[in-house]
């Protein structure tokens, strides 16, 4: 892979050691150009028949792109606005009843915990927690669903492989997974995979995806049928939802944003996803080693792209690094500062971070 070309494709890296794709990935020149031309076109052509044709053209292409990355059938992939929306659609659509238990990990992201709280308040489900690594063994007869990260946002640990052997559904929060590490939804053995477009896919905020295993598609009710969800939207009260995952598409996503999401994806796909994943994981592992050599305690992690280390004052350390042109973040309520390492980074970025540590 031409790593220098991948780096040069992302303008923020010209001046910054940008290590924050776990929040939002770097936007590429191609994505920015698509944003400019896409909005320009809408302005000059107006938003009429041609605009609708753009919508009809972009949705299957973006769905196909996400499906390739999930190793999934596009018919099982819904286009959503973010990971959280995908989670909301699954939790709200499943027939979970009072007394049903959802098992999760205590340090999951609010994007998962918030929708679980809603379910507890509205439907009377119970929520129990166990450490991510121990979730499979913590399942009990009343457990109806396991909902957890594919990649932990705090430590970069991977969901344990034994989740694939459970005979109850598993919802994976893939916000830190898709685009960052190889994903094969069948191999993961999950029933649902929720992901973000703006993080490791380097797309715009307001894009994301939801994969639903075919055997679960009939058991997730759509959350209100909008135009995009109807196979025959003009059939009035006789209208019916799409039989495939389009029934779970977001109510609306701007055409321009979907075009940018695809342009961003195409840049990374052009370098080869396998190479992108491999390089990012190798750089992240090397940063973890460098931090240990600097006497830092690195959070127990997996072969992922997130590297968190303990800091006496995480917000102050993140702010100090920002002053040195190194963009990382602290994680509230944890002792950690987190670096998100992408294939677009290089050894110079990692040295800059290590050099700026106190």
DSSP per-residue string spanning 77-108: EEEESSHHHHHHHHHHHS---TT-EEEE-TT-
Least gap, CB of 173 to ligand PLP (angstroms) = 5
| Residue in 74, 92, 111, 203 binding ligand PLP, rule: CB under 6 A | 111
Sequence-distant (6+) residues with CB within 8 A of 133 are: 157, 160
Among 77, 159, 175, 258, contact with ligand PLP (rule: CB under 6 A): 175
CB of 103 to ligand PLP, least distance (A): 17
As beta bridge partners, residue 128 has 103
Within 221-280, the residues that bind ligand PLP by CB under 6 A are none
Binding mask 55-94 for ligand PLP (x = CB under 6 A): ---------------------------xxx----------
| Residue closer to ligand PLP (CB basis): 107 or 346 | 107
**Distant-in-sequence contacts of 309-314, Cβ < 8 A, 24+ apart:** 309/336, 309/337, 310/335, 310/336, 311/335, 311/336, 311/337
The nearer residue to ligand PLP, 34 or 207, going by C-beta atoms, is 207
Q: Distance (Å, rounded) from C-alpha 107 to C-alpha 112? A: 10
- What's the closest the beta carbon of residue 293 comes to ligand PLP, in angstroms? 27
Query: In the chain, what is the straight-line distance between the N-terminal and C-terminal CA atoms, in Å?
Result: 34
Please state, in angstroms and rounded to a whole number, the distance separating the CA atoms of residues 113 and 300: 22
Strand order in the sheet with 306-310: 306-310, 336-340, 329-330
149 binds ligand PLP (CB under 6 A): yes
Is 13 or 172 the residue whose CB approaches ligand PLP more closely? Answer: 172
Check: CB of residue 145 under 8 Å from CB of residue 103: yes
What's the DSSP call for residue 209?
E
Q: Identify the residue among 28, 176, 308, 345 touching ligand PLP (CB under 6 A).
A: 176
Binding residue for ligand PLP, selected from 196, 229, 257, 311, defined by CB under 6 A: 196
Total residues at the site for ligand PLP (CB under 6 A)?
13
Q: Among 18, 153, 192, 344, which residue interacts with ligand PLP (rule: CB under 6 A)?
A: 153
Does 208 contact ligand PLP by CB under 6 A? Answer: yes
Q: Which residues bind ligand PLP (CB under 6 A)?
A: 82-84, 109, 111-112, 149, 153, 173, 175-176, 196, 208
């Amino acid at each position: 892979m031409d790593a220098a070309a991948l780096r040069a494709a992302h303008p923020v890296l010209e001046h910054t050691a940008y290590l924050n794709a776990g929040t939002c990935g770097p936007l590429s020149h191609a994505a920015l150009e698509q944003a400019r031309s896409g909005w320009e076109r809408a302005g000059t052509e107006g938003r009429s028949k041609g605009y609708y044709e753009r919508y009809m053209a972009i949705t299957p292409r973006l769905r196909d792109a996400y499906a390739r990355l999930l190793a999934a059938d596009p018919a099982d992939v819904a286009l959503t606005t973010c990971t959280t929306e995908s989670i909301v659609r699954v939790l709200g659509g499943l027939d979970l009843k009072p007394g049903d238990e959802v098992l999760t990990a205590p340090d999951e992201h609010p994007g998962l915990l918030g929708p679980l709280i809603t379910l507890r308040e509205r439907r009377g489900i119970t929520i129990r927690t166990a450490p991510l690594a121990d979730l499979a063994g913590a399942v009990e007869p009343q457990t109806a669903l396991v909902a957890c990260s594919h990649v932990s946002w705090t430590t970069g640990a991977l969901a344990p492989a034994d989740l694939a052997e459970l005979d109850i559904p598993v919802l994976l929060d893939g916000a830190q997974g898709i685009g960052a590490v190889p994903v094969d939804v069948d191999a993961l053995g999950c029933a649902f995979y929720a992901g973000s477009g703006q993080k490791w896919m380097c797309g715009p905020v307001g894009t994301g995806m939801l994969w639903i295993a075919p055997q679960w598609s009939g058991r997730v009710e759509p959350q209100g049928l909008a135009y995009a969800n109807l196979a025959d939207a003009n059939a009035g009260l006789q209208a019916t939802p799409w039989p495939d995952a389009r029934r779970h598409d977001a109510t609306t996503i701007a055409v321009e944003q979907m075009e940018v999401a695809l342009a961003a994806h195409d840049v990374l796909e052009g370098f080869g996803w396998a190479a992108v994943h491999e390089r990012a994981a190798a750089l992240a592992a090397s940063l973890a080693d460098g931090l240990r050599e600097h006497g830092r305690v690195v959070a127990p992690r997996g072969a992922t792209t997130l590297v968190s280390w303990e800091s006496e004052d995480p917000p102050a350390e993140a702010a100090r690094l920002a002053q040195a042109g190194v963009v990382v973040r602290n994680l509230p309520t944890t002792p950690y500062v987190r670096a998100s390492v992408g294939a677009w980074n290089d050894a110079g970025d990692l040295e800059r971070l290590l050099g700026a540590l106190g």
